[in-house]
Amino acid sequence: MHTFFHGWRRKMGVGSLVIALFTAGAWLRSHMVRDTVDMGPVLAMSHHGILEWNWGTPDQWSYRWYWGVHRLPRIRHATLSNSIRYAPITIPLTLLSAYLILWKPRKHV
């Protein structure tokens, strides 16, 4: 087992596999739960397979309340808004980790 992780490729492959599994879990969770993280000027949301973040000031967020539970805020005046789907992150990371882990090292001559 010690010889399997000899070299940098397989170590990087395992590291990228861990990140790919994390993003795959977040991708699946985003289809079931709508997560919102308010970090002052940045508001991050994960929903329906999309990671979205907005820059602005906290007084620009307008929160909705349903039955006493804090729900997804509506953005009134976000200064900058970006979003990305989880698939373009997860799939290439998985393929990269498979390549790095499964690639046979060359024999030294």
| 31/13 Cα distance (integer angstroms) | 27
pTM over 0.95: no
Of 39, 25, 13, the C-alpha closest to 99 is: 13
Tokens of 48: 């329906």
What local confidence, expressed as pLDDT, does residue 79 receive? 60
- pLDDT beyond 90 at 60: no
Query: What residue spans define the domains of the chain?
Result: 8-102
For residue 79, which amino acid is it? Answer: T
What local confidence, expressed as pLDDT, does residue 93 receive? 95
The per-residue pLDDT for range 71-106, each reduced to its tens digit, is 555 555 556 678 889 999 999 999 999 999 998 767
Mean pLDDT of 29-37: 87
